[in-house]
């Protein structure tokens, strides 16, 4: 694992632990964007997975709060162990713990009766939209995250990403060219 | 035979807006072939057919392929050029000395097909691939601002890429829909409201935007002013 990525993930896990203990799902959601720069540049699974886990946790906490429940204490324990593993350069142990954590989140999700799109899938799509917003194409983003373009486009369309800086093209020229191609009468 | 190549995005935009019928009409009007490389076919059919959410849309796209409205192209030449373009595109820009992999096989296969068939246009909705073709320098500015880091440019690779693909003419699903609108194909949806045309144009454009086509609100407002 690149040292920059490791440092960023350790920092993010430290903050995540504190926010999970406080049940602060809003800050947790914001925190999940902190490895998006790394994910966009390095396109490594570790940055992406960390962002997905933290985002998924924010959604689980939000829902369990609404139901007057608390998040499972073992999740915090696993986050701590994952952080410690990385601090001690035990990368494989870290990755195993993150996989177990994702499984546990998915199981929590089942109990909340998500049907079409479980919270992990949703987390991948949401983080994917952020990566695309940083300059990676939709298809490449979908490939990195293991999701399909349909889901990603469906989500991006509802964000303001396309409104922030049009990168190329003159609308009138494009329209005029299309009309010529299809012989649209003036 | 003249041709237009499609990336996956515009077909997805049309499918999710129940506008796939536009393709057959436009193809007849155009008088040439509508092509998709096999990588795009995979994104449009095989991948979503394995899901629940877009299974029906995948079947609808598959029908357009079976009807030969969309022709799948799969030649060795496409693979060769696709790999060259992929290498170039993904080694033009660097952040922290890491090459930024901006695009993937499907997008480059579509561009490769457009080059090989000398297509009149390539239909691409998503803005990063369009940016690579039309204004890669703006793409650098965008990435630099979003990543809060300096983006180094491999000028040789960028120039090679521009030489190879900079001449391609790009249109989007929005322009396909507007061509259809101009030909009266959407008139069946007009209401009796005095602003019926404005309502119809807005409905078409917002529908396509909300389901993922990269068009801004500013562009929509401009098109509405131009078209109504």
Let me know if residue A37 belongs to a domain.
yes
A28, two tokens: 């947790």
Q: How far is CA B164 from the centre of its chain?
A: 18
Q: Is residue A155 classed as helix, strand or coil in its secondary structure?
A: helix
Least confident of A62-76, B24-38, B62-76: A62-76
Residue B5 contacts residue B75 (beta carbons within 8 Å)? no
Q: Which of B31, B58, B214, B217 to mutate to test the interface with A (most CBs of A within 10 A)?
A: B214
DSSP string covering B17-81: TT-THHHHHHHHHHTSEEEEEHHHHIIIIIHHHTSSTTHHHHHHHHHHHHTTSSEEE--HHHHHH
Kindly state which CATH superfamily the domain B3-171 is placed in: 5'-nuclease (3.40.50.1010)
d(CA A67, CA B105): 45
Kindly provide the ipTM of the predicted complex, given to two decimals: 0.91
At A116 the pLDDT is 42
Residue A128 confidence (pLDDT) above 70: yes
Say whether B48 and A132 touch across the interface (CB within 8 A).
Answer: no
Higher pLDDT, A100 or B86: B86
At A109 the pLDDT is 65
Q: Which of A37, A40, A182, A186 to mutate to test the interface with B (most CBs of B within 10 A)?
A: A182
Mean pLDDT on A127-131: 89
The 10s digit of each residue's pLDDT in A155-176 is 988 888 777 666 556 888 999 9
Residue B2 confidence (pLDDT) above 50: yes
Residue A178 confidence (pLDDT) above 90: yes
At A111 the pLDDT is 59
Phi, psi at B98, each rounded to 5°? -105, 130
B103 interfaces chain A, CB cutoff of 8 Å:
yes
Helices A149-156 and B8-16, axial angle in degrees (round to 10): 70
At B148 the pLDDT is 86
Say whether B96 and A4 touch across the interface (CB within 8 A).
Answer: yes
Domain that holds residue A24: 3-181
Say whether A116 and B52 touch across the interface (CB within 8 A).
Answer: yes
Residue A44 contacts residue A2 (beta carbons within 8 Å)? yes
Say whether B104 and A140 touch across the interface (CB within 8 A).
Answer: yes
Q: What pTM was estimated for this model as a whole?
A: 0.89
| Residues of chain B contacting A183 with CB distance shorter than 8 Å | 29-30
Looking at the 3D structure of chain A, how many domains does it have?
A: 1
Say whether A149 and B43 touch across the interface (CB within 8 A).
Answer: yes
At B186 the pLDDT is 96
At B6 the pLDDT is 98
Residue A28 contacts residue A68 (beta carbons within 8 Å)? no
At B104 the pLDDT is 93
Using DSSP bridges, classify how beta strands B33-37 and B3-6 pair: parallel, antiparallel or unpaired.
Answer: parallel
Q: Which of A35, A138, A186 to mutate to test the interface with B (most CBs of B within 10 A)?
A: A138
At A65 the pLDDT is 73
Which residue does chain A place closest to B178, by CA atoms? A175
Q: How far is CA B55 from the centre of its chain?
A: 21
Q: What is the mean pLDDT of chain B?
A: 94
Q: How far is CA B117 from the centre of its chain?
A: 17
Let me know if residue A186 belongs to a domain.
no
Q: How far is A181 from chain B (nearest CA, A)?
A: 6
Mean pLDDT on B52-56: 92
**Residue partners of B207: CB distance under 8 A and separation at least 6:** B17
The 10s digit of each residue's pLDDT in B204-220 is 999 999 988 888 888 89
B105, two tokens: 């096989």
Residue B52 confidence (pLDDT) above 90: no
d(CA A163, CA A118): 28
Mean pLDDT on A70-92: 89
At A168 the pLDDT is 56
Burial class from Cβ neighbours inside 10 Å (0-12, 13-18, 19+) for residue B34 reads: buried
Q: Is residue B140 classed as helix, strand or coil in its secondary structure?
A: helix
- Per-residue DSSP letter, A160: S
Say whether B135 and A169 touch across the interface (CB within 8 A).
Answer: yes
Let me know if residue A159 belongs to a domain.
yes
CA distances from A9 to A34, A39, B150 (A): 9, 11, 22
Which residue does chain A place closest to B140, by CA atoms? A135
pLDDT > 70 fraction of chain B, expressed in percent and rounded: 100
Count CB neighbours of B163 within 10 A: 10
The 10s digit of each residue's pLDDT in B13-32 is 999 999 999 999 999 999 99
- The residues in B 114-133 lying below 8 A from A, measured between CB atoms, are 120-121, 126-131, 133
| Residues of chain B contacting A116 with CB distance shorter than 8 Å | 52-53
Least confident of A45-59, B75-89, B109-123: A45-59
At A167 the pLDDT is 58
Mean pLDDT on B66-78: 97
pLDDT > 90 fraction of chain B, expressed in percent and rounded: 83
Could you tell me the pLDDT band of residue B155, with boundaries at 50, 70 and 90? very high
Q: Where are the domains of chain B?
A: 3-171, 188-227
Residue A112 confidence (pLDDT) above 70: no
Residue A72 confidence (pLDDT) above 90: no
- Per-residue DSSP letter, B212: T
The 10s digit of each residue's pLDDT in B110-142 is 999 999 999 999 999 988 999 999 999 988 988
Partners of residue B93 on adjacent β-strands = B153
Higher pLDDT, B176 or A114: B176
At B201 the pLDDT is 95
At A40 the pLDDT is 87
Mean pLDDT on A121-144: 89
Mean pLDDT on A96-111: 79
At B49 the pLDDT is 93
What is the edge-to-edge ordering of all strands in the sheet holding B93-95?
A: B98-99, B93-95, B151-153
B25, two tokens: 């009409």
């Amino acid at each position: 694992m690149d040292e920059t990525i490791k440092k960023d993930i350790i920092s993010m896990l430290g903050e995540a632990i504190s926010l999970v203990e406080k049940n602060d799902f809003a800050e947790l959601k914001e925190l999940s964007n902190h490895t998006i720069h790394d994910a966009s540049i390095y396109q490594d699974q570790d940055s992406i997975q960390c962002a997905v886990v933290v985002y998924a946790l924010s959604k689980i906490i939000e829902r369990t709060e609404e139901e007057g429940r608390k998040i499972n204490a073992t999740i915090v324990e696993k986050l701590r162990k994952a952080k410690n593993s990385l601090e001690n350069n035990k990368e494989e142990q870290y990755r195993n713990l993150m996989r177990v954590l994702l499984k546990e989140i998915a199981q929590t999700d089942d109990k909340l009766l998500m049907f079409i799109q479980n919270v992990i899938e949703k987390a991948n799509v949401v983080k994917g939209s952020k990566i695309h917003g940083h300059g990676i194409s939709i298809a490449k983003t979908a490939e990195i995250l293991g999701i399909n373009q349909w889901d990603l486009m469906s989500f991006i369309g509802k964000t303001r990403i396309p409104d922030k800086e049009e990168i190329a093209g003159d609308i009138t020229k494009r329209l005029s060219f299309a009309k010529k191609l299809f012989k649209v009468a003036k | 035979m003249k041709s237009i190549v499609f990336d996956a995005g515009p077909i997805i935009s049309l499918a999710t807006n129940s506008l796939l019928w536009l393709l057959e009409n436009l193809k007849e009007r155009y008088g040439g072939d509508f092509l998709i490389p096999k990588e795009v076919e995979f994104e449009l059919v095989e991948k979503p057919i394995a899901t629940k959410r877009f299974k029906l849309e995948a079947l609808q796209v598959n029908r357009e392929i079976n009807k030969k409205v969309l022709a799948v192209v799969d030649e060795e030449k496409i693979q060769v050029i696709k790999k060259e373009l992929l290498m170039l595109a993904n080694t033009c820009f660097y952040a922290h000395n890491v090459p930024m992999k901006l695009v993937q096989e499907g997008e480059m296969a579509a561009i490769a097909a457009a080059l090989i068939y000398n297509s009149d246009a390539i239909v691409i909705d998503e803005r990063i691939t369009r940016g690579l073709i039309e204004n890669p320098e703006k793409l650098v500015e965008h990435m630099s601002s979003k990543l809060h880091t300096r983006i180094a440019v491999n000028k040789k690779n960028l120039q090679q890429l521009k030489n190879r693909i900079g001449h391609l003419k790009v249109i989007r699903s929005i322009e396909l829909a507007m061509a259809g609108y101009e030909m009266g194909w959407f008139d069946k949806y007009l209401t009796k409201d005095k602003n019926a045309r404005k309502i119809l144009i807005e409905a078409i454009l917002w529908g396509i935007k909300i389901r993922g086509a990269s068009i801004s609100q500013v562009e929509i407002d401009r098109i509405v002013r131009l078209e109504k």
